[in-house]
């Protein structure tokens, strides 16, 4: 029987497009039976905060609502729903411990089911993965 494939994603920005990209890639991989790990660092950590509502970058932030509406029109769930789906699919979510310290984010600020992890520990996951993706 073939060994399970592993996918490692690093997310370093907290904008809507980066949030949706990481969730869509992660959920697709997990749906295909691929063990999926997503490491949020620097501004990407904001996506793991309770009540996070990411916006499009720059001037496009004013069009976030329109983008959400367009996505719903084609049957694509929003960020919170995608994040819930990721947890349901068994996607492993990690918060960078060093970035948390730098940005003043505490474990209790984060949603449930997030593991706080150092970069070296995540690199061990990444090096053992067949696929790596950096979103940021």
Can you give the pLDDT at residue 82? Answer: 96
Q: Is residue 1 part of a domain?
A: no
Can you give the pLDDT at residue 4? Answer: 81
Q: Is residue 117 part of a domain?
A: yes
Can you give the pLDDT at residue 2? Answer: 56
Mean pLDDT computed over 103-115? 97
Can you give the pLDDT at residue 113? Answer: 95
Give the domain extent around 23.
6-135
What is this structure's pTM? 0.94
Total count of domains within the chain: 1
Q: Is residue 21 part of a domain?
A: yes
Pick the closest to residue 83 from 74, 92, 75 (CA basis).
92
Can you give the pLDDT at residue 1? Answer: 44
Residue 93: give its domain's CATH number.
3.40.1260.10
Query: What are the phi and psi torsion angles at 34 (to 5°)?
Result: -90, 130
As to burial, measured by CB atoms within 10 angstroms (0-12 exposed, 13-18 middle, 19+ buried), residue 86 is buried
């Amino acid at each position: 029987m073939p060994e399970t494939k592993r996918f490692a994603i690093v997310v370093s920005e907290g904008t809507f497009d980066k949030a949706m990209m990481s969730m869509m890639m992660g959920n697709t991989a997990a749906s295909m039976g691929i063990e999926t790990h997503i490491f949020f660092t620097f501004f990407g950590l904001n996506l793991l905060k309770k009540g996070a509502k990411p916006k499009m970058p720059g001037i496009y932030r004013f069009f976030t609502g329109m983008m959400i509406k367009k996505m719903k029109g084609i049957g694509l769930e929003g960020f919170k729903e995608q994040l819930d789906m990721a947890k349901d699919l068994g996607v492993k979510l990690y918060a960078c411990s060093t970035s948390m310290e730098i940005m003043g984010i505490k474990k209790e600020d984060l949603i449930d089911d997030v593991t706080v992890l150092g970069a070296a520990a995540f690199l061990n996951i990444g090096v053992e993965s067949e696929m790596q993706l950096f979103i940021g």
